[in-house]
Structures are given as structure tokens and as C-alpha cells.
Amino acid sequence: MSGSAFAVFLLIGASVLALWLDAHRPGLAPASGRRIALHLVAAFVLLQLAPKANGSPIASFAVVFGLILPALVYLVLTGIWFIRLAQSTLGSLYR
């Protein structure tokens, strides 16, 4: 499997996990747009701080599934919260 195909499947898996987490824990979503923006910044910072694993395959596995996958899940989950906030805000404008 090529690296780009693995990255696509990793992002799809992170998206599925984020959707599952949002469906089963709806109370995690912050109520205000400012808090969602702070979560978005935190998710991007987590992704930027993830180390590059150029060593053994075990180290690479640990970095990808221990750090990058949770950070991607957090990023997608924050995007879901932002979309939900935008829908509720725009929906209230048309009522």
C-alpha cells in the first residue's frame, strides 16, 4: 500500500471514529463558537507537534496510531461541531 493511500484510509478511519464519537457523546460539543474555534486551534497544534517517526516500524506505528490518529479524530470532531453550529445559526436566520 502506498503512503498516500494509507493517509487517505487513515483520514477516512478518523472521520468514522469522529462521527461515532459525536453520535454517542453529544454532550462533548461546546456550546459557543469561540470554544469551538479554540478546539480547532488545539487540534491543528496537536497535528503540528506530532513527531516524525523515521526509526523502526514499531516507532512509526506508535506515532501514527498513538498520536496522529487521535489528533485527526479531534480535528474532524471539531469540524463536525463547527458545521452543527453553523447549521443552527443559519437555521435560526430563516425562521
Q: How many domains does the chain have?
A: 1
Q: Are 10 and 68 in contact (CB under 8 A)?
A: yes
Tell me what pLDDT residue 12 has: 96
pLDDT class of 88 with cuts at 50, 70, 90: confident
Residue 51 carries which side chain, given as an amino acid letter? P
Residue of 32, 28, 17 whose CA lies nearest to 76: 17
Provide the domain limits for residue 76: 3-93
DSSP-assigned letters across all residues of 27-74: GGS-SSHHHHHHHHHHHHHHHHHPPP--S-HHHHHHHIIIIIHHHHHH
> Is 70 exceeded by the pLDDT of residue 95?
no
Q: What is the pLDDT of residues 34-70, one digit of tens each?
A: 999 999 999 999 888 887 767 788 888 888 888 899 9
